[in-house]
Amino acid sequence: MIKLFLSITYYVGVVLSVFGLMSIYYSYSYYFMTKVLFVEWEIMDFASVSIIMTLIFDWMSLMFMGLVLLISSMVMFYSTFYMEGDKFFVRFILLVYLFVLSMVFLILSPNLISILLGWDGLGLVSYCLVIYYQNNKSANAGMITILSNRIGDVAILLGIAWLLNYGSWNFYYFQFIFNPNENLMLMGMVILAAMTKSAQMPFSAWLPAAMAAPTPVSALVHSSTLVTAGVYLLIRFNYMMGCNSFLFYIGVLTMFMSGLGANLENDLKKIIALSTLSQLGLMMMTLSLGFYEFSFFHLMTHAMFKSLLFLCAGVYIHSMGDTQDIRFMGCLNISCPVTSFYFMSASLALCGFPFLSGFYSSDMILELFFMGGSNFFMLLVVFGATMFTLMYSVRLMYFIFFNNMGSRGLLNLAEHVGMISPMSLLLMLSLFAGGWMSVNMFPVYLINLPMFLKIMVLVGLMFFSWLIFFMMENKLPVLGSSYKILFNYMGSMWFLPFLSSIMFMPLLKLGSFILKYADQGWMEYAGGQGAINKMGSSALSLDILSISNLKFYLFLIFILISLVFLLP
């Protein structure tokens, strides 16, 4: 059985990594040649109707596709040992492969219909992966995931219908021509679809719930594929969108809400998922300001260190006997030294530590925002949401490394060389890829911040350092009941999971009512099986004529002749 595992995962992993490296190489070439390649494949031509599949190869699509394939190959190698012994291992690998294929469809499509193939594929396959462990928790998480994503699917379908006004579904061609004010309907649908797929408020509840999936899936879904699809779609529509105040407020609010919730969460995977949500809010905020290239830059660097964080979390969960609660972890730097070094490096990259990958993108975005003309309140909210990233990262490392668990911290159940090897490549990307891209692929601006902002950052760091110490000393339980209610509200994502369930329940009850009283009620009686029964009984009464004797037929003829003579 082990040979089967190795053959499937390593074969698929090697194929994905080779194509990923080729894609990155051509992306680098296309960037310097300023080259864009369109490939049109005529699938069918019938009665002057041509069905054409269009693909776009430019530096942005090739770079993103290469990174997705590279991270997917590392997840394949990692899954060989993480999912070893699983009964449905082959099904799991095929689902992950379908997931990657759907993402590639979405990345390479300048056509809204072919985008829908990848968009819907991501939603359906992610549902299959979330319910992979078949229990009540996974079923509920899968339901809220797919129902939230279906809102975005409907928005894409409405956008396709609206594009009939322009005679083509290839949005890449005409977005340079039309005035953005003429496309408010289309942009509204695209922004709604991106908000649902990238889990922006008020559609944020499904992202932490999707943590019910296996950890390798979480590493893939929440780093470079599913949740980034909405951001990538808006990057493609950036010429039509321009600067968008609505998206700015949504992104900042999502950043603040998720960063606050991560500081009060105790589930390891949910903390990392909420940090993903915070970074998605940062990307949306960057897009709304018109800096789409820097949003793409942060999309790339975030995929590198976030996938590494999830893979390290999988090692920790296995090492502690399938425990995800950080309060029951501790001294993992002793039992898993290599993974702990990788986890700390990825966490520092997430915080924007100087000269790691996350520093080059997030620092440039924040400095460009501070140089803009935003009001002081929004500046404080963005600054606070950024500081929350530092807080939950330090809190996470405190519980994982410095929480004293006694002899249990000496256990090591999962640190395997087959899992460490793919994580090592992701570590190299998290350390060096951001600097390389900053020098070679993205422009560098001269940034000159006023002294007031520099002092505010210093004072903010001192205040949040004190707040981190306050939380580490576990002084929160001594607060009053009103404060506990407030912390319960802030730690529950502002009741969004509850509200998301409440919104869908009337629709599900309505469906049950229609099924009971319409589909299985009067419709069944008037149509379908009821109509067949009625027609059958009528046919039986007509069959009496065919089984009657000669006397009956003679009597009928006599009656008819009598009626003819009697009628005037």
pLDDT tens, position by position, 130-170: 888 888 888 888 888 888 888 888 888 888 888 777 777 77
Residue 460 banded pLDDT, cuts 50, 70, 90: confident
Chain segment 324-341, per-residue pLDDT in tens: 778 777 777 777 888 888
Q: What is the mean pLDDT of residues 37-56?
A: 80
Chain segment 425-457, per-residue pLDDT in tens: 888 888 888 888 888 877 766 777 777 777 877
259 and 154 within one domain: yes
Q: Which two tokens stand for residue 523?
A: 């419709």
52 phi and psi angles, rounded to 5 deg: -120, 130
560 phi and psi angles, rounded to 5 deg: -65, -45
Is residue 81 included in any domain, yes or no? no
502 and 394 within one domain: no
Residue-averaged pLDDT of the chain: 80
Query: The pTM is what?
Result: 0.82
pLDDT at 401: 81
111 phi and psi angles, rounded to 5 deg: -115, 130
Chain CA centroid to CA 297, Å: 18
Helix (H) or strand (E) holding 52: strand 49-57
Residue 567: pLDDT above 80?
A: no
Is residue 8 included in any domain, yes or no? no
Query: Where is average pLDDT lowest: 75-79, 272-276, 443-447?
Result: 443-447
Residue 504 banded pLDDT, cuts 50, 70, 90: low
The DSSP-derived string for 319-383 is: HTTS--BGGG---HHHHSHHHHHHHHHHHHHHHT-TTSHHHHHHHHHHHHHHHS---HHHHHHHH
**Token pair 């090591």 is at which residue?**
412
54 phi and psi angles, rounded to 5 deg: -110, 135
pLDDT at 75: 87
Chain segment 351-390, per-residue pLDDT in tens: 888 888 888 888 888 888 887 777 788 888 888 888 888 8
Structural domain count, the chain: 3
Is residue 130 included in any domain, yes or no? yes
CA–CA distance, 126 with 119 (Å, rounded to integer): 11
Is residue 17 included in any domain, yes or no? no
Given 3-state DSSP classes, what are the helix, strand and coil percentages for the chain, each rounded to the nearest 5?
A: 75, 5, 20
545 and 482 within one domain: no
Q: Which two tokens stand for residue 256?
A: 């603040």
Residue 495 banded pLDDT, cuts 50, 70, 90: low
pLDDT at 532: 77
Range among 127-136, 204-213, 279-288 with highest mean pLDDT value: 279-288
CA–CA distance, 315 with 321 (Å, rounded to integer): 10
pLDDT at 418: 76
Q: Give the list of residues 6+ apart from residue 554 with CB closer than 8 angstroms, or none.
A: none
Q: How far is CA 134 from CA 77, 98, 379, in A?
A: 24, 20, 45
438 and 305 within one domain: yes
Residue 486 banded pLDDT, cuts 50, 70, 90: low
Closest CA to 221 of 170, 149, 293: 149
CA angle 63, 65, 71 (to 5 degrees): 100
497 and 466 within one domain: no
354 and 332 within one domain: yes
Chain segment 2-11, per-residue pLDDT in tens: 555 556 778 8
542 and 511 within one domain: no
Is residue 279 included in any domain, yes or no? yes
Is residue 14 included in any domain, yes or no? no
Chain segment 386-402, per-residue pLDDT in tens: 888 888 888 888 888 87
- HSE-up of 356 (CA within 13 Å, CB side)? 21
**Token pair 């949040």 is at which residue?**
464
Helix (H) or strand (E) holding 42: strand 37-46
457 and 435 within one domain: yes
Chain segment 171-199, per-residue pLDDT in tens: 766 665 666 566 778 888 888 888 888 88
561 and 438 within one domain: no
Q: Partners of 39 in the beta sheet? A: 55
Residue 406 banded pLDDT, cuts 50, 70, 90: low
User: 113 or 497: whose pLDDT is higher?
Assistant: 113
Cβ atoms within 10 Å of 549's Cβ, excluding its own? 7
Q: Give the list of residues 6+ apart from residue 547 with CB closer than 8 angstroms, or none.
A: none
pLDDT at 151: 86
* Residue type present at position 370: F
189 and 122 within one domain: yes
141 and 260 within one domain: yes
Closest CA to 226 of 107, 144, 133, 308: 107
Range among 159-168, 344-353, 463-472 with highest mean pLDDT value: 344-353
* Residue type present at position 72: S
- Exposed, middle or buried: residue 246 (CB in 10 Å: 0-12, 13-18, 19+)? exposed
Chain segment 509-558, per-residue pLDDT in tens: 787 778 777 777 777 777 667 777 777 777 776 666 666 666 777 777 78
Is residue 255 included in any domain, yes or no? yes
Q: Which domain holds residue 558?
A: 538-568
pLDDT at 496: 72
**Token pair 């920790």 is at which residue?**
316
Is residue 337 included in any domain, yes or no? yes
Helix (H) or strand (E) holding 264: none
What is the Cα Rg of the chain in Å?
A: 30
User: 224 or 227: whose pLDDT is higher?
Assistant: 227
333 and 268 within one domain: yes
